[in-house]
Amino acid sequence: MFRLDEQNVYRCDALSQFPWLEHGFGTRLSNGWPDGNRLVTPKQIHSNRVLVVERGAPTGPTARLGEGDALVCRIGDSMVGIRTADCVPILLVDEHRRAVGAIHAGWRGTVSEILAHTVDTMVRQFGTKPEDIWAAIGPSIGRCCFQVGPEVATQFPADLHHQGCIDLPEANRRQLVKAGVAPNRVFVSELCTVCQRSEFHSYRRDKERAGRMISAVGVTL
């Protein structure tokens, strides 16, 4: 389950069980979260590129580590985050290695299996076992609103189509399970950024006027 807290940030109950973890999915009302002095973000390019965060990585509201759409980290007192306004934000947590990941998955990143690449990077870099990962898939454009043309639709399995719309969160959930994450450790918010205007920014709805929301995760000291 996902709960909205007093900071207007959505928290996933399954991730909140870890006292050493900080995480959240920002909304259009959650200004001031997360702490920009601890936050590492990428220059997002709708790719499947995964960046590994090391000590000394640039932090702050305008700093960018490099080009990519996923960050993984195993450094205490740092947070990795991504910005979205309809694309799917995913947070990963390795409960034993205390490694984390933040992923920005638009349809291009989903088709190019950015989550599979992220899990593989955590395995190689940190010794993560996929079965030790907990995953939270945050607010994004839902199947109700993600209408696409045939050139996009044909890149997804037929059972993810519904009257010209694609279920992007479900596509990413399946990708995590295929990568070895246990189905009962993958949690989907089922909150649509387009439908819920008062809570979320949406590029599909508001075009260039849309803001961006930060989803982030990190290990506290």
Report the predicted TM-score, pTM, of the whole model to 2 decimal places. 0.97
Q: Which domain holds residue 186?
A: 2-219
* Residue 6 exposed, middle or buried by CB count within 10 Å (0-12, 13-18, 19+): exposed
pLDDT at residue number 146: 97
The CATH number linked to 90 is 3.60.140.10
Q: How many residues does the chain have?
A: 221
Backbone angles phi, psi at 126, to 5 degrees: -120, -5
Q: How far is CA 3 from CA 72, 92, 135, 209, 218, in A?
A: 24, 18, 16, 27, 18
- Give every residue of the chain whose pLDDT is below 70, as ranges: 221
Summarize pLDDT for 3-61 with one digit per residue, the tens.
Answer: 999 999 999 999 999 999 999 999 999 988 898 889 999 999 999 999 999 988 888 88
Q: What is the tally of structural domains in the chain?
A: 1
